[in-house]
Structure 1
Amino acid sequence: MQPAPQVDATDQGEATDQGIPVIDVGPFIRGEAGTGAVVRAIETACRTTGFFLVTGHGVSPERTMRLYNLARAFFDLPEDYKRSHGRGTGLNGGVAFSPIADEALAATKGIKTPGDYKESLNFGLRLNGDTWPDQPEGIESAFRDYFSEMESLAGHLRRIFCQAIGLEPDYFEPAFENHLSALRVINYPEQELDPLPGQLRAGVHTDYGFMTILRSEASSGGLQVQTRDGRWLDAPSIDGAYVVNIADAFMRWSNDEWVSTPHRVANPPRNRKGSSRRQSIPFFVNPSKETVISCLEPFCTDGKQAKYEPITYGDYIELKTRQAFGR
């Protein structure tokens, strides 16, 4: 991955070559000069691309790499071992394993495709799963430690959003007291054979919840973001930075003023040189099941009408999940 660029607090939101801004959130987190520039840069990104990268976030690199390495070790285990774990739903806070082609994300956009060419491990404090595997040793604690890091970063970003919108700093916090956030590690294996027609590593989709915080890596066949005019941009991979994007529930909360942008993970080119294996770690920031998603007051003023009827997050996510897994 590339070194992270140094962005001056007065020049926040400087776009990468791909048009996705890189924003140093350190001044906001530490309460230093430049907080206003951070807030303005993030608001602009949320209204235009729906995607931005953050540096200065304070996430532990040691906890990040520990999770990365242990998850990779799990994915390298025999297929029959992997499929014998994480397939049940009887344990709250357990692990869920999704094998290759189990999920077709494009179905949430009404597009029929073969299952996505990826496998994943999934965990949430309040989500049902299965007993954790005994191999590799320490994988459960690695998930829980990294989950805690992401909870902290998500809290900082929510407070930035509040300031950008004109809400009290802790406005969203009641909605996240019993949050349904999910941590996923995704393995995109080498593609030794041609994918099926229409099959991608991850089909075009938007994320379901409040926002997503992604730890990604450089590879051929990576994350692509769709522009407003329909072009696909390769998202940059910058060492130590996180990709953040607005998700559907928050777009609905903002009356469609903050955008949840379609994205996908492309297949590697067939004439590639070297490895195309890829591993990413998204953290899906989701409110509680009972949270009502309805137009926030600042987005329903001056004669603006709410575009959507209120809906609980539980009902909303159930619909989206059924679509993705064809249930």
Structure 2
Amino acid sequence: MHNSSATQPGTSAPTIPVIDVGPFIRNEAGAAAVVSAIETACRDTGFFLVTGHGVSPEKTMRLYNLARAFFDLPQDWKTQQGRGTDVVGGVAFSPIADEALSATLGIKTPGDYKESLNFGVRLPGDSWPDQPEGIEQAFRDYFVEMETLAKHLRRVFCKAIGLDQDYFEASFDGHMSALRVINYPEQDEDPLPGQLRAGVHTDYGFMTILRSEASSGGLQVQTRDGQWLDAPSIDGAYVVNIGDAFMRWTNDEWVSTPHRVANPPSDKKGSSRRQSIPFFLNPSKDTVITCLEPFCAEGTPAKYEPITYGEYIALKTKQAFSK
């Protein structure tokens, strides 16, 4: 198992570790080391990269390419797509500057310089566009790949916490997860003051699994002492991070870390267009989020009242779109 060093040379800041989860998935020697490395990452930064995950590269690239073809279509056509909410399992399109993520932290900024296509098997959307051909199936196929990886990771988390490895499974029966493809266009003009590709925010749900790519203007993660780390970009690896709901489940011992997508530098060379594919793993809306037993043992009080995930996500979403 490869696990990057815990600190950067000359600093005390943690790095974002790269962990081969293959031994755990295959139940081989080294599985316990995977659990230990992920537990440390969840406590230190709430972020880690996984290799050895078994996700189909063909299904990944099919979604990537078809989504890119969608984003290349004329803007006036795109803005007519995915605006309704009467189709369960439909598509939703969010145009540039429609969302300001930092509003969830009480920070007012211009809308984020990105556009996105969004899908969830149980989420409302609009009818799928007829072009590019096959885009709905590409979303659905990749969604299944992410469900499989997410189940492996849930089992790692359970082992790390000291729970039965299937402890969380009932909470993800009818899960409200979302798959998003985000296009960060070239920035041919200066962004507005305070405008980023994605403003500083934490993710709302249980866990995010991100397929990213190298570009100028990429993902940055804030350490507990306020430093910004550039997330490494490793071909074929996935960036995984803990979300707010899971942090609440752990009584804030595992961290949901602020992160952002930076603007490319003004003197960049070459293209800075970027496309990322986050999968937001969310429990079912009726799941009650309450302090997990190992984090409230020995008299440690729970910091939060129990809340259903549906109530929790409604509050967070309202904040994000309250410009």
TM-score of Structure 1 vs Structure 2, range by shorter chain: over 0.9
Rounded Cα–Cα distance in structure 2 between residues aligned with 1:288 and 1:20: 29
The structural deviation recorded for 1:152 is: 0.1
Rounded Cα–Cα distance in structure 2 between residues aligned with 1:12 and 1:300: 30
String of CA shifts for 1:1-26, please: whole Å, max 9, x gaps. Answer: xxxxxxxx3x6454585710000000
Q: If the length of structure 2 is used for normalisation, what is the TM-score?
A: 0.97
String of CA shifts for 1:41-69, please: whole Å, max 9, x gaps. Answer: 00000000100000000000000000000
**Structure 2 partner of 1:210:** 206
**Structure 2 partner of 1:192:** 188
Q: Indicate whether 1:150 and 2:167 are aligned.
A: no
Q: Indicate whether 1:292 and 2:288 are aligned.
A: yes
Q: Secondary structure at the match of 1:260?
A: coil
Rounded Cα–Cα distance in structure 2 between residues aligned with 1:217 and 1:13: 19
Q: Secondary structure at the match of 1:160?
A: helix
Q: Indicate whether 1:64 and 2:60 are aligned.
A: yes
String of CA shifts for 1:189-217, please: whole Å, max 9, x gaps. Answer: 00001000000000000000000000000
Q: Indicate whether 1:265 and 2:252 are aligned.
A: no
String of CA shifts for 1:128-149, please: whole Å, max 9, x gaps. Answer: 0000000100000000000000
Counterparts of 1:76-91 in structure 2 under 5 Å?
76-91=72-87
Q: If the length of structure 1 is used for normalisation, what is the TM-score?
A: 0.96
Does the 8 Å CA contact 1:50/1:258 hold for their aligned counterparts?
yes
- CA gap of 1:16–1:216, structure 2 versus 1, over 3 A, is farther
- Which 5+ residue runs of structure 2 have no aligned equivalent? 9-13
Does the 8 Å CA contact 1:108/1:205 hold for their aligned counterparts?
yes
Q: Indicate whether 1:232 and 2:228 are aligned.
A: yes
- Which 5+ residue runs of structure 1 have no aligned equivalent? 1-8
Rounded Cα–Cα distance in structure 2 between residues aligned with 1:13 and 1:308: 34
**Structure 2 partner of 1:140:** 136
String of CA shifts for 1:223-243, please: whole Å, max 9, x gaps. Answer: 000011111111000001000
Q: Indicate whether 1:116 and 2:116 are aligned.
A: no
Q: Secondary structure at the match of 2:108?
A: coil
Rounded Cα–Cα distance in structure 2 between residues aligned with 1:271 and 1:278: 17
Letter in 1 for 2:198: A
Letter in 2 for 1:185: V
The structural deviation recorded for 1:280 is: 0.2
Q: Secondary structure at the match of 1:156?
A: helix
Rounded Cα–Cα distance in structure 2 between residues aligned with 1:191 and 1:292: 42
Equivalent in 153, 164, 170 of residue 168 of structure 1: 164
Aligned residues: 318
Rounded Cα–Cα distance in structure 2 between residues aligned with 1:13 and 1:188: 29
